[in-house]
Amino acid sequence: MPAKSNYVANATPLFSILSPAQCEEIFLAAEEVLERTGVTVHDEEARDILKKAGCWLDGIRVRIPSAVVNQALNSVPKRVTLCNSRTGSRDVLLEGNNAYFGTGSDTPFTIDPYTGRRRRSTKQSVGWACKVIDALPNLDFVMSLGIVQDVPLLISDRHQFEAQVLNTSKPIVTTAHDIYGFADIIEMCEIIAGGEEELRRNPFMTLYAEPISPLQHAWEAASKLVLAARKGLPVVYTPCVMAGGTVPATMAGVLTNGLAESLSGLVINQATREGSPFIMGGVFTIMDMSSTIFSYGSPEFNLLMSALADMAHYLKLPMFGTAGCSDACVVDEQAGIEAALSIAMTALSGPNLNHDVGYIEYGSTSSLEYLTINNDVIGMARRLVRGIKVNDETLALDLIDKVGPGGHFLAEDHTMKYFKTETYYPELINRQRYDAWKENGSKTLFQRANEKVKDIIENYQPEPLPQDVQKRIRAIVERAEQKVH
Amino acid sequence: MTKSQYVRANYQVNATPQFHVLSEHQCENIYYGALEALERTGAEVHSRTALEIFRQGGCRVDGNRVRFPTRLVERAVSSTPSRVVISDRHGHRSMFLEGSNVYYGPGPTNTYTLDPFTGERRRPKKSDTVRAGIVCDALPNIAYAMDNGTPMDVTPTLADVHAFQALLENTVKPIIHWGFGIEQYQDIVEMAAAVAGGLAELQRNPFIVLYSESSPPLRHSEEAIDKAIFAAKTDIPVIYTPCTFAGGVAPATMAGSLVISVADFLVGLVAGQLVREGASFIMGGLISTMDMSSSILSYGATELSLLSAGLTDVARHMKIPMFSTGGCSDSKVIDVQTGIEAAFSILIAGLSGASIVHDCNYMEYGATGSLELMVMDDEIIGMVKRILEGIEVDDEHLAVDVIDAVGPGGHFLGEMHTMAHFRDFWAPTLINRLRYDGWKAEGSKTMGQRIREKTQNIINTHKPEKLPDEVLRQIQTVVDRAEAREAAKKISK
Amino acid sequence: MSKYFEDLAQSVIAGQQERVKELTRQALDAGTDPVEIINQGLISGMNVVGARFKVGQMFVPEVLMSARAMNGGMELVKPLLVGQELPSAGKVVLGTVKGDLHDIGKNLVGMMLESAGFTVVNLGVDAGPEKFLQAIKEHKPGVIGLSALLTTTMLSMKDTIEVLKEEGLRTEVKVIVGGAPISQDFAEEIGADGFAPDAASATDLCKKLLA
Amino acid sequence: MSNYFEDLAHSVIAGQQDRVKQLTQQALDAGTDPVEIINQGLISGMNVVGARFKVGQMFVPEVLMSARAMNGGMELVKPLLVGQELPSAGKVVLGTVKGDLHDIGKNLVGMMLESAGFTVVNLGVDAGPQKFLQAIKEHKPGVIGMSALLTTTMLSMKDTIEVLKEEGLRNKVKVIVGGAPISQDFADEIGADGFAPDAASATDLCKKLLA
């Protein structure tokens, strides 16, 4: 191998929607929105914190000087690590262009894998979902993939968390109805981690909160940001914005408005305690102007999410992205198309913590088959992002000469060495020849996925929590139940 | 309104998304690897005509083995036009194969077809090629026509001639066409010339592109290389496509597969440029991985997308238009897998900026052609085109004033700004965004069902523009003459 | 004259507020009956808009532009309706329930109802049972519409219905519900009169309930 | 001893040629019956490989590595089989038909057959009827296999079968066909004895035809 100099290689494919100058332009516009228009904050404590930080208050309207935004950007950690809840192993490194995938949480409905019927999600369905996620190698973290609705709704968040943590050891992004729910969940996590400091040092969970677009921080959201900062726990803050509905119809306007919401959330969080881990989120998409849905599959959604990833990299903020979801009401060709586009673009852009894998029906319903299918799609996308290595060994000129014109490479050591690493072998995607496929029952991808889901539910055992830990968690859930009664 | 009062300086924008698999240096490395393989290992050429051309051109010929001096290959590359313009049947220039323009369409010669009415997988007939022409003609995002299957209810050695007739009479779009050999290509060019109003007109504004495939590694059959030579002589653009699959006919490493693909293309290119300097060549690229379990050449693998995008980077480095692959699947039926694989490859091929992306109809690792898949792909291409438009960033699109006017807690639905821009949203036709209840009320249809309905509807109702009777007669004369020729051959045998 | 009404209706459909105003003024100057202007021009145009939206030929922003254009005409006609009531399809009180600040869906329903000729009283967000109660007493609507985005806040819908019962007002008014976690089953369970999955069907539902 | 054969078989499965050679030599040195080494060690390992490949647990390059390892052992055993025939599953003549240069599929079939213990005579590409005829006369195979990738060249399969009939050799040999455009229907139509859609099933087919 000769020496080389001045040789630039793409270690991975290079992909961007926005140039650095465009990122700057959008960031400056968002700062202008915060300074000029401001946001409403529906929590008195958060408003006090903002006032002390140097913001201008006018009733619940808060205007934020650019200097305060910049200060928050300076103090926020550029990276956040999430861990395995059983081993504490630091598995999910939210930094740079690392892209991890997981599910979403807030689907009221789910497709039952046994009956095929759409029904309300339950504690059992959430448990099943977490088992399936735990078993799938390309899923890195968990959100509940359903709202538990067969328990008292006011404290369903505690049940939901219990169902998750019993069925998976992967990191959990958790929702809660309010700070009281969060307090209970944090307490459960501290029991599992073995203490408050242990949890802070190796967090296996991050809180989740969202503003209400345009430019509103409700009491629940603002108080969660404050609580997370006080506890020193990571928080995901996710504006869910729809072009033409809650934000302007132009893509740059969507990014400006959405970013202004994220940055104002960041300021609340950092002003409470500098250096708190904060993950910028976003589900940026369009409102379909015919059906008025919040689209989870439009090409604009893909563009916006990739552009937001460019923004996050520009600002050096860990990012919570969205992929593997669909507007289709069943797991059909459309669901496949929309998942492929969003997962491929997400993997190429590299936002860090990407949720909503397994959502169908514009986020109203979850499907475990869809989740399982997307495990393959994520594998495909990850192969794409590994790119092409170019060196003497991979160029293989000696081998080409040895095999010669008209020969073949099947029985070569070089092939043996590389065919499995250079090529991704999906699990459910079928590449059998027609006759073999027919012999195996002419199954569609959905049928194969359904079989796999049922197999996991029936046969897979997640790593259990110690009995005493399980009991103490149960006690917290029961305590909450009692308070409701 | 003060923000737009200033003028920006040194402001560089991404007018479209930016995507590259390989750096400029890596492209160079692969290109040089191909030159080294051609100079050192050389290629096996099974055509006496071609061997003579190579010998006279200065290659080292040793039996069937031809070794290519680098200077000769470099000269061929530099004499190849960096742009090729393809017209439609009217001679209107419609496909500008240059820069990073992307055009999508189907592929050829499948040995089965999925009947869009019965769902049956069966052998293609000439009437299926007629349908292919009609569907290509009707779909807005399909830029050209290709045959979607070799018709098997006609004289086998003239299946290409019959398929061409069927396409020619049923679409005004450009036609990229496979032929078995020189005689058939002569028939095909003659038919096309009849439509164009003479060979000279056809050469000036070609609406057909010829297509030839070599069999790697480094092996070129007589008809493959002779077709490339024929195209150069006849002055009709040609695509030269080595079918490269990693681990089978090329190294299992992606870079090694690219070397084989580029080297094998260059063999065809050198032959063509030696015949006519400046002949229009398009670099082909059917490049993927061999599935080591089923031993198929995978049309759904990520590696197809990755390798095709890498090859496109090399093509741009060489400044030669690129014929890439996408919109295809290994699935045997139209299902979720088909959607995933088609979308994935259409997206990556689009981002890579390949000039032509073919095989937007290939099911079952290429064995079966499906018009329903083409209809599905038409929708996916629409989505991807929207993505390729990127994001515009200026004061109007940043909309800071509108955001301020609406304020926290308001909404943008009734704003003039929304009215002015919401039509920029991509409008779906087969993708369904109805709410659950509305979708249920419309019969709970899957996208596959909607695709089938649309395909049938196109076949039943779309009426492509007819050719003049006189031209139709001339075309038929060519077909009849070809039939007589083949019949005579059979008797003499 | 029918040509004139056609023109007016077309201008409503096209969402051209200025043109609608101009045509309305012309008609009034020519002594046309205001009620006829409304019914054969303004409302008639708006009916076409509603029908087109339903089949996906028109989109939300366009519907709202048409509504704005229609209202431009209405403003001119209204003062001349001496002693006559402005024709209304009915009165609807809308609100996002207690604890919930999401109101884009509810606002959309409101605008669609107005476009279809309803009179809408919008209570905004965070509207608890008492607020609805008060609004019913004050405005005497035919329908009240409750919206919720969260599974926790949707529980408050039931509370509102219970309060109406206690106050003896449940039979005076129809109750409809909507929002992401709401379904027909849920509506029946809490004893609402109807569920609308989207803004267009909310309009249809109100028409049906008040028919 | 059974543990030793297990070791040998495992080394074949793992494709470790050197280890297979080493173990075979050891066994021979210890005076083990060569036929037992073959049947209980080498072939028995290869049978596992075949079964695993069929269900997708092993891949083509791995199968070929195993075959190579097995052959490494065979080379050592062969000279000692005094007076005994090397066990063979049968003899197969393979070729890509006239006018066709595509031979990766045919080569794969050849290698798979060899892995399964068949003796394979590979005629290469562009093999016309005469070439097959000559090979049959010379090698007396149980099966001939023809491969074609093109719809034009697949026609030549029929020609070969016709020539065999004319020469009175058709019932001396089984004819199997394969390749992308080939189907069971086509095989039946031209009077072949079988069609194999892929390399693994070609092996099964040969076994069945020669059973």
- The continuous run of DSSP H or E covering A242 comes out as strand A240-243
- Length of chain A in terms of residues written: 485
- The chain-wide mean pLDDT, for chain B, equals 96
> CA A43, A44, A48: angle at the middle one, nearest 5?
120
Residues B355, B270, single domain; the answer is yes
Residues of D with CB below 8 A from B159's CB? 151-152
Q: Which residues of A241-267 are buried (b: 16+ CB within 10 A; e: fewer)?
A: bbbbbbbbbbbbbbbbbbbbbbbbbbb
CB contact set of B26 (below 8 Å; sequence gap of 6+)? A9, A10, A388, A390, B313
The residues in A 389-408 lying below 8 A from D, measured between CB atoms, are 406, 408
For residues B199 and B273, state if they share a domain. Answer: yes
Work out how many CB contacts closer than 8 A connect A with C: 45
Residue B2 has pLDDT above 50, yes or no: no
* A470 Cβ under 8 Å from any chain D Cβ: no
Nearest to D95 by CA among D47, D43, D51, D159: D159
pLDDT of B32:
98
Put simply, the answer to whether D180 touches B295 (Cβ < 8 Å) is no
What pLDDT was estimated at residue D99? 78
In this structure, the answer to whether residues B301 and B401 fall within a common structural domain is: no
Closest to B17 (Cβ–Cβ): which among A7, A15, A38?
Answer: A15
Burial-class residue A368 by CB neighbours within 10 Å (0-12, 13-18, 19+): buried
How does pLDDT run across B318-346, given as a tens digit for each residue? 999 999 999 999 999 999 999 999 999 99
How many other C-beta atoms can be found within 10 angstroms of the C-beta atom of residue C166? 11
Contact B476, B148 (CB under 8 A): no
Cα(A395)–Cα(B33) distance, rounded to whole angstroms?
7
* B304 and B219 in a common domain: yes
ipTM, interface predicted TM-score of the complex: 0.91
Which chain B residue's Cα is nearest to D100?
B221
Looking from the CA of B105 toward its CB, the CA atoms found within 13 Å total: 24
Is there an interface between C and A (3+ Cβ pairs < 8 A)?
A: yes
- Find the CB nearest D60 among B111, B249, B292: B292
Looking at 1.20.1250.20, 3.40.50.280, 3.40.30.10, 3.20.20.100, the CATH number of the domain D90-210 comes to: 3.40.50.280
- Asked if B435 is an interface residue toward chain C (Cβ–Cβ < 8 A), one would say yes
CB contact under 8 A, D61 and A415: yes
Cα dihedral sign, B55-B57-B58-B60: negative
Domain of B293?
14-391+426-493
Strands A61-63, B362-363: pairing is: unpaired
The answer to whether D and A touch (≥3 CB pairs < 8 Å) is yes
CA distances from B179 to B164, B187, B379, D7, D47 (A): 9, 10, 30, 55, 44
Residue whose tokens read 């669909």: A326
Read off the pLDDT of residues C16-53 as tens digits, 9 standing for 90 and up: 999 999 999 999 999 998 888 998 999 899 989 988 98
Question: What would you report as the CA-atom Rg of chain D, rounded to the nearest whole angstrom?
Answer: 18
Which phi and psi (to 5°) does residue D102 adopt?
Answer: -80, 120
Pairing type for strands A283-286 and A240-243 reads parallel
Residue of C nearest to A221 (CA): C101
Question: Model's pTM, two decimal places?
Answer: 0.93
Ranges of residues in chain A with a pLDDT under 50 are: none
How many residue contacts between B and D have a Cβ separation below 8 Å?
Answer: 42
Quote the DSSP letter at residue B365. G
Q: Any idea where the domains of chain D sit in the sequence?
A: 2-80, 90-210
Is B407 in the same domain as B335? Answer: no
Interface mutation target, options A417, A419, A435, A438, chain D, most CBs of D under 10 Å? A435
Amino acid at the residue C92: V
Mean pLDDT of D129-158: 92
CB spacing of B253 vs A361 below 8 angstroms: no
Cα dihedral D107, D111, D114, D119, rounded to 10, equals 20
C79 touches chain B (CB under 8 A): no
Residue B1 covered by a domain: no
* Residue A213 · residue A259 · CB < 8 Å: no
B221/B314 same-domain check: yes
Q: A109 to chain C: which residues are within 8 Å by CB? A: 183
Report the candidate in B243, B272, B277, B236 with the shortest Cα–Cα distance to residue B50.
B272
Give the pLDDT confidence score for residue B4 in this predicted structure.
Answer: 52
Would you state the pLDDT for residue D105? 87
Non-local (6+) Cβ contacts of A111 within 8 A are A117, A118, A331, A360, A365, A366, A367, A368, A369
Residue B103 three-state SS: strand
Instruction: Please give the residue that has the higher pLDDT: either B462 or A2.
Output: B462
| Same domain membership, residue B95 and residue B151 | yes
Per-residue pLDDT at D211:
85
B25 has a pLDDT exceeding 60:
yes
Q: How confident is the model at residue C1 (pLDDT cuts 50, 70, 90)?
A: low
- Nearest-by-Cβ selection for B337 from A17, A429, A436: A429
Q: Which residues in C lie closer than 8 A to residue A147 (C-beta atoms)?
A: 151, 181
Q: What is the pLDDT of residue D115?
A: 85
Q: Is residue B3 part of a domain?
A: no
pLDDT value of residue D50: 87
> pLDDT tens, B86-119?
999 999 999 999 999 999 999 999 999 999 999 9
B253 CB contacts (<8 Å, ≥6 apart)? A389, A393, A394, A395, A396, A414, A418, A422, B246
In a domain, B9, yes or no: no
Do B296 and B418 fall within a single domain?
Answer: no
Whether B51 has a pLDDT exceeding 50, the answer reads yes
A411 with D198: Cβ contact below 8 A? no
Mean pLDDT, residues B208-221 taken together: 95
| A411: nearest CB among D101, D111, D197 | D111
D181 touches chain B (CB under 8 A): yes
Q: Could you say which of 1.10.1240.10, 1.10.3720.10, 3.10.129.10, 1.10.150.450 is the CATH number of the domain covering C2-80?
A: 1.10.1240.10
What is the Cα–Cα distance from B67 to B38, expressed in whole angstroms?
6
| Average pLDDT, integer, range B398-426 | 93
Q: Hey, of A126, A153, A250, which one would you mutate to test binding to chain C, going by the most C CBs within 10 A of its CB?
A: A153
Interchain CB contact of D126 with A (< 8 Å): no
* C114-161: pLDDT as tens digits: 888 899 999 998 899 999 999 999 999 999 999 998 888 888 899 999
Q: Assess C198–A contact: CB distance below 8 Å, yes or no.
A: yes
Residue C94 CA to residue C146 CA, distance in Å, equals: 6
Question: Touching check for D180 and chain A: CB below 8 Å?
Answer: no
Pairing verdict, β A319-322 and B18-20: unpaired
What's the pLDDT score for residue C89? 84
Q: Residue C197 is nearest to which of B411, B414, B435, comparing CB atoms?
A: B435
Which of D104, D154, D159, D190 to probe the B interface (max B CBs under 10 A)? D104
Q: Which of A268, A143, A253, A256 is nearest to A206 (CA)?
A: A143
Is B2 within a domain? Answer: no
Q: Do residue D61 and residue B109 have CB atoms under 8 angstroms apart?
A: no
Mutate to test the interface with C, among A118, A144, A212, A247 (most CBs of C within 10 A): A212
pLDDT band for B5, please (50, 70, 90 cuts).
low
**Domain co-membership, B83 together with B196:** yes
Comparing CA positions, the residue from D143, D162, D109, D159 lying closest to residue D211 is D143
C-alpha pair distances (Å), B112 with each of A308, B122, B128, B150: 44, 5, 11, 8
Residue D200: closest CA among chain A residues belongs to which residue?
A436
Q: Provide the domain count of chain B.
A: 2
Domains of chain A: 74-386 (3.20.20.480), 392-422 (no CATH)
- Locate A417 and state its tokens: 């060495």
Q: Which of residues 287-306 of B touch A (CB under 8 A)?
A: 289, 291-294, 296, 298, 300-303, 305-306
Do B312 and B366 fall within a single domain? Answer: yes
Which candidate from A291, A302, A401 shows the least CB-CB separation from B387?
A302
B217·A407 Cβ contact <8 A: yes
The rounded Cα A58 to chain-centroid distance in angstroms is: 35
Which of C68, C125, C197 is facing B438, going by the closest CB pair?
A: C197
The CATH number linked to B199 is 3.20.20.480
Inform me whether the pLDDT recorded for B1 exceeds 50. no
Q: Would you call B414 and C61 a contact, using CB atoms and an 8 Å cutoff?
A: yes
Residue D8 has pLDDT above 80, yes or no: yes
Contacts for B215 with CB less than 8 Å, ≥ 6 apart = A406, B221, B224, B242, B243, B249, D101, D102
Q: Collapsing DSSP states into helix, strand and coil, what is residue D60?
A: helix
Q: Which residues of D touch B109 (CB under 8 A)?
A: 151
Please answer yes or no on whether B157 and D152 come within 8 Å at the CB atom. yes
Is B17's CB within 8 Å of A255's CB?
no
